[in-house]
Amino acid sequence: MIDVFTRFETLRARAEAPALRGALRLPDRALRVLSGRRVVSDGQTLDPEMQMVLRMRRLLKEPPVEQLPLPAGRMAMRRQCRLAGGTQPIGSVRDLSAAGLPARLYTPTDPSTDAAARGPLLLFLHGGGFVYGDLDTHDAVCRFLAERSQVRVLAVDYRRAPEHPFPGPVDDAMAAYTWAREHAADLGVDAERIAVGGDSAGANLATVLCLRAREEGVPQPRLQLLLYPVTDFSQELASRFEYAEGFWLTKTFIDRCRAAYLPRDVDAADPVLSPLQAKDLDGLAPASVTTAGFDPLRDEGEAYARRLSDDGVEVQMTRQPGLLHGFANMVGASSAARAAMHEVVAQLRTRL
């Protein structure tokens, strides 16, 4: 049955890709007409490309991944990310094992002399609600970051819930960071110029990795690069309600992933789950925090950026007001998503 579904997903992707990319390449006026009436919320206007993505999803009657059985949902997310991410150029890609975990090293096409000889590295932890993502869902994201920043990227496929709930993914993230520092020479990078980053659930793991490193006396990374991070399982801020339905990431998805990731007896306010609840954040690595305006996770990401700043951590906080959660995975289809990711790339290059 899974093989049949895989073939179906492949055929569906081949059929949908030209339609999506063709629609998003329409002139601005045509795109606005076809995407429908402008969506305005909280003083923000939804980007017409994002609005078209949502409209096409409705027209194609595509079920959200959280409504599918887990194996099928994981395949569907992989297909969606490949469709929206496209084929991004990269110098080379090498599969390897990092701390016993599947990993993928992305080396840019024409790295600078410094990058070729012990240059910087970004350890990237994928999103997907701790349940759905993998190396393939975020392949385009990692290619884009590596090639455009001229920084090597090491993506690590940590164990996922519900098979491996908290703290399994946190332990894997910490093990991968330790492994990268210990094997920096083999990776061709400088152990003192390693950043950690990720999107959504992966951004949560990146920042709690910094908390764990502080507690264990491990050197902090050079930067924590956080894209629309999950920062609090213990409360729901206003954007969770404002954008609960109709803006890609849904309350149903969040609730399903929360149930899969959190054991029943765990304290949701534990800072290693909810870094926004940490007593203090001083001593953590400098941070780049990027949020999306139409995202249920927007307010907790921005609250975390303010907490970092209040506790003396240097922070660059950027809101992309017209974009949706998951825009990093849309670099192959959306010019607005690419522009936002170019800003992320600029911050990565500046810090590393």
Strands (DSSP E) found in 164-259: 189-199, 224-227
Q: Is the dihedral of CA 284, 270, 168, 300 positive or negative?
A: negative
Q: 212 is written with which tokens?
A: 């764990």
Of the residues 35, 149, 200, 239, only one is catalytic, namely 200
CA 315 to CA 313: how far, in whole Å?
Answer: 6
Q: 258 is written with which tokens?
A: 């929360």
234 among known catalytic residues? no
Dihedral through CA 82, CA 85, CA 87, CA 92, nearest 10?
Answer: -100
171 among known catalytic residues? no
Q: Are 295 and 249 in contact (CB under 8 A)?
A: yes
183 among known catalytic residues? no
Phi-psi region of 153 (alpha: psi -120 to 50; beta: other; left: phi over 0): beta
Of the residues 199, 295, 299, 334, only one is catalytic, namely 295
Using DSSP, state whether 94 is helix, strand or coil: strand
113-141 residues labelled b (16+ CB within 10 A) or e (exposed): eebeebbbbbbbbbbbbbbbbbbbbbbbb
Of the residues 157, 299, 325, 334, only one is catalytic, namely 325
Q: What is the DSSP string of 12-61?
A: HHHHHHHHHHHHHTS-HHHHHHHH-SPPEETTEE--HHHHHHHHHHHHTT
Query: Strands 152-156 and 189-199, how do they pair?
Result: unpaired
Give catalytic residues, as residue numbers.
200, 295, 325
